[in-house]
């Protein structure tokens, strides 16, 4: 069963952090474009679009895929603020 949605999107170039904290899952800045930052974040599957916009109202160019669980790696380590 897929419980999470993995998203990659464009966010504020100057400050990629969510406007509402903490978000429901981890997030990371993965790079920058000319006038945006690129963020990867996980959201609970139920209502993920609304939750994304609550935390990153400026989010655009959203790509997403269903995931069974949150996956960490050497590049995407577990954030210190996550329980």
User: Pairing relation of β-strands 27-32 and 4-11?
Assistant: unpaired
Q: What is the pTM of this model?
A: 0.93
Number of domains observed in the structure of the chain: 1
pLDDT reported for residue 2: 78
Residues of the domain holding 23? 4-67
Asked whether residue 73 is domain-assigned, the answer is no
Asked whether residue 44 is domain-assigned, the answer is yes
Asked whether residue 14 is domain-assigned, the answer is yes
Whether the link from the prior residue into 38 is cis, omega within 30° of 0, is no
| Residue pLDDT, tens place only, 19-63 | 999 999 999 999 999 999 999 999 999 999 999 999 999 999 999
Asked whether residue 75 is domain-assigned, the answer is no
**Residue 1 pLDDT grade (very low, low, confident, very high; cuts 50, 70, 90):** low
**Contact between 42 and 54 (Cβ < 8 Å):** no
Asked whether residue 79 is domain-assigned, the answer is no
Asked whether residue 82 is domain-assigned, the answer is no
| Domain harbouring 44, CATH code | 3.30.70
Asked whether residue 74 is domain-assigned, the answer is no
Asked whether residue 11 is domain-assigned, the answer is yes
């Amino acid at each position: 069963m897929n419980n999470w949605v993995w998203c990659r999107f464009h966010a504020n170039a100057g400050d990629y952090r969510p406007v509402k904290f903490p978000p429901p899952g981890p997030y990371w800045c993965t790079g920058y474009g000319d006038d945006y930052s690129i963020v990867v974040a996980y959201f609970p599957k139920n209502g993920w679009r609304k939750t994304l916009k609550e935390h990153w109202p400026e989010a655009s160019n959203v790509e997403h895929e269903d995931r069974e669980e949150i996956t960490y790696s050497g590049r995407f380590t577990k954030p210190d603020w996550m329980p």
